[in-house]
């Protein structure tokens, strides 16, 4: 019975997605899944501007370090950094690279000095992600030089890690789009391509013709592409090589 019930659920979800995909009304909800640092540092103003332009569209935003299952209708649109999405029948648009660099607080640098390079990181206090994000490029890059057990602070949340670095707990790799504008941080060099990710905007194939989803994706894509230098870490920043 469980097998039949799961098959029925899949059929119902498929039918609901296909019906929603035919909706040509710019009225109703758009469910968005993303990560905390994007909402805090970038998406807030973009979502505001979209809402002002499309006043009858409601934005339901869910923040998680995990991946929303678009086939299970956990979201209509996902905006997230990472590798090319592997789940289900989705359409993914590559927006830009997400540059990553090493940061520290002025207080930390005054107490511990500057690291001379990755091979010197093991002599410093490291802030990094926890096991739930161990597979992302940033964490795999850190693993080459510092074991996870040597970290003084770990969190799945990039926003929380940035706060920890700002408070002087240690040094850490952070995305440039969030950290370069943080007056409490000092950037310690160029970006590390080996630690960088790609920013994607993703929709389920069944929803690609939905008017609300189509309008939202086009609006967000254009806005984020204009911020490409900031994401890649090549925008003018307050840091010393």
In terms of C-beta density within 10 A (0-12 exposed, 13-18 middle, 19 or more buried), how is residue 117 classed?
A: exposed
Distance CA 233, CA 175 (A): 8
Looking at residue 240, its pLDDT comes to: 46
Looking at residue 179, its pLDDT comes to: 96
Distance CA 139, CA 172 (A): 10
Q: How far is CA 226 from the centre of its chain?
A: 17
List per-residue pLDDT tens for the chain, 241 residues long.
Answer: 777 566 665 655 555 545 544 556 788 999 999 999 999 999 999 999 999 999 999 999 999 877 777 777 788 999 999 888 877 788 999 999 999 999 999 999 999 999 999 999 999 999 999 998 888 999 999 999 998 888 999 999 999 999 999 999 999 999 999 999 999 999 999 999 999 999 999 998 888 889 999 999 999 999 999 999 999 998 655 444 4
Work out the end-to-end distance of the chain between its first and last CA atoms, rounded to an integer number of angstroms.
Answer: 63
CA dihedral sign of residues 176, 180, 182, 185: positive
Q: How far is CA 218 from the centre of its chain?
A: 18
Distance CA 131, CA 112 (A): 27
What secondary structure letter does DSSP report for 88? S
Pairing of strands 57-63, 28-34: parallel
Asked whether 137 and 197 are in contact (CB, 8 A), the reply is: yes
Element (DSSP H or E) covering residue 141: helix 137-143
């Amino acid at each position: 019975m469980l097998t039949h019930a799961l098959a029925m659920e899949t059929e119902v979800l498929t039918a609901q997605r296909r019906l929603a995909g035919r909706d040509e009304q710019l009225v109703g909800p758009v469910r968005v899944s993303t990560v905390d640092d994007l909402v805090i540092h970038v998406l807030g103003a973009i979502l505001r501007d979209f809402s002002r332009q499309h006043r009858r569209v409601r934005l339901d935003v869910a923040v998680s370090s995990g991946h929303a299952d678009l086939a299970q209708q956990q979201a209509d649109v996902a905006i997230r950094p990472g590798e090319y999405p592997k789940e289900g029948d989705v359409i993914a648009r590559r927006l830009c690279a997400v540059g990553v660099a090493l940061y520290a607080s002025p207080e930390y640098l005054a107490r511990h000095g500057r690291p001379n390079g990755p091979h010197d990181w093991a002599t410093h206090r490291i802030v990094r992600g926890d096991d739930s994000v161990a597979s992302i490029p940033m964490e795999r890059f850190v693993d080459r030089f510092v074991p996870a057990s040597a970290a003084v602070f770990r969190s799945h949340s990039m926003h929380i890690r940035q706060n920890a670095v700002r408070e002087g707990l240690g040094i850490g790799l952070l995305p440039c789009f969030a950290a370069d504008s943080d007056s409490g941080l000092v950037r310690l060099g160029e970006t590390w391509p080996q630690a960088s990710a790609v920013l994607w905007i993703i929709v389920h194939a069944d929803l690609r013709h939905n008017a609300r989803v189509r309008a939202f994706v086009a609006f967000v894509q254009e806005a984020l592409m204009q911020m490409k230098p900031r994401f890649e870490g090549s925008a003018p920043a307050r840091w010393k090589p």
